[in-house]
């Protein structure tokens, strides 16, 4: 059974008297330990795809199964729970709490799981150690570099042991050297067995993945496996 199954997913928006088809009949499966990039220009539908996959929005029609659960029939409370249990989010803008240190930011998703304080701290420390930030646990976001802030965000996504890691333009605010470091970390996470889905408009980022799904006008027009994977992000 696929980890993610999308069948006939459509998403329409009404803008005045016009109906915009953001997604127009998407069929796709994602398996466990997939390393997939959705790529496309502005208006291609990849941002709407991110919102659907992340259970931040519901499709107008179609079926979405995540880890065997029928997502599109869930209410808002159920969607909130599945986001906390199944999905680790990594955003371009990091979305860290400015007044919380690195440890506090990584602990934050665990608050809703009725886990004791000591265990929350232990789990957060393990996640920060995994992204090589064990020596930055007391630092606030404004005391960290862009790459370090993204590593905190990745640790926060990892701490709940989600079914998928969903990254939205994860290197968009980073310089070339830091981009290389973050993509190498994604490569390592994939090698460890994590399922990663990256939404990007950059071909060189997509080439890091092992599967590229190209979108245009709300549809998938190419779904290919990256062969050789010698193409890496270069400074």
Instruction: For residue 232, tell me if it sits in a domain.
Output: no
Instruction: For residue 136, tell me if it sits in a domain.
Output: yes
The parent domain of residue 184 ranges over 32-59+73-225
Question: What pLDDT does residue 230 have?
Answer: 43
pTM of structure: 0.91
Q: What is the number of domains present in the chain? A: 1
Q: Are 3 and 164 in contact (CB under 8 A)?
A: yes
Instruction: For residue 19, tell me if it sits in a domain.
Output: no
Q: Are 199 and 169 in contact (CB under 8 A)?
A: yes
- Per-residue confidence in pLDDT tens, the chain, 235 aa: 799 999 999 999 888 888 889 999 999 999 999 999 999 988 899 999 999 999 999 999 999 999 999 998 899 999 999 998 899 999 988 999 999 999 999 999 998 888 899 999 999 999 999 999 999 999 999 999 999 999 999 999 999 999 999 999 999 889 999 999 999 999 999 999 999 999 999 898 999 899 999 999 999 999 999 876 544 443 3
β 18-30/35-39 pair status = unpaired
- List the structure tokens of 190: 């994939």
Question: What pLDDT does residue 4 have?
Answer: 96
Render the burial of 43-53: b for 16+ CB within 10 Å, e for the rest.
ebbbbbbbbbb
Question: What pLDDT does residue 144 have?
Answer: 96
Question: What pLDDT does residue 31 have?
Answer: 96
Cβ neighbours for 140, distance < 8 A, ≥ 6 positions apart = 98, 99, 100, 101, 102
* Domain at 179, CATH number: 3.40.50.300
Instruction: For residue 173, tell me if it sits in a domain.
Output: yes
Cα–Cα distance for residue pair 109/158, rounded to 1 Å: 10
Question: What pLDDT does residue 17 have?
Answer: 84
Instruction: For residue 22, tell me if it sits in a domain.
Output: no
Instruction: For residue 23, tell me if it sits in a domain.
Output: no
Question: What pLDDT does residue 215 have?
Answer: 95
Closest CA to 79 of 105, 53, 60: 53
Question: What pLDDT does residue 30 have?
Answer: 96
Number of other residues whose CB lies within 10 A of the CB of residue 105: 26
Q: 117-130 vs 146-158: helix axis angle to the nearest 10?
A: 130
Distance, C-alpha 187 to centroid of its chain: 14
Q: Give the gyration radius of the chain's Cα atoms.
A: 18
Instruction: For residue 11, tell me if it sits in a domain.
Output: no
Instruction: For residue 25, tell me if it sits in a domain.
Output: no
Cα–Cα distance for residue pair 170/92, rounded to 1 Å: 5
Question: What pLDDT does residue 16 have?
Answer: 82
């Amino acid at each position: 059974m696929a980890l993610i199954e999308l069948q006939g997913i459509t998403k329409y928006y009404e803008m005045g008297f016009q109906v915009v088809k953001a997604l127009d009949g998407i069929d796709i499966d994602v398996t466990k330990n997939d390393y997939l990039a959705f790529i496309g220009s502005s208006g291609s539908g990849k941002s709407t795809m991110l919102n659907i996959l992340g259970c931040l929005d519901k499709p107008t029609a179609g079926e979405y199964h995540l880890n065997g659960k029928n997502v599109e029939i869930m209410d808002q409370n159920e969607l909130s729970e599945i986001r906390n249990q199944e999905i680790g989010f990594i955003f371009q803008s990091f979305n860290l709490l400015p007044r919380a240190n690195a440890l506090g930011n990584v602990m934050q998703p665990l608050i809703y799981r009725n886990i004791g304080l000591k265990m929350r701290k232990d789990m957060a420390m393990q996640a920060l150690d995994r992204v090589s930030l064990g020596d930055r646990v007391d630092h606030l976001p404004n005391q960290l570099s862009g790459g370090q802030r993204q590593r905190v965000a990745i640790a926060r996504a990892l701490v709940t042991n989600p079914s998928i890691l969903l990254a939205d333009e994860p290197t968009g605010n980073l310089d070339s050297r830091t981009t290389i470091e973050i993509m190498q970390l994604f490569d390592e996470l994939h090698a460890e067995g994590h399922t990663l889905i990256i939404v990007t408009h950059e071909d060189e980022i997509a080439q890091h993945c092992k599967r590229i799904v190209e979108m245009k006008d709300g549809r998938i027009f190419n779904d290919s496996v990256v062969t050789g994977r010698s193409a890496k992000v270069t400074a």
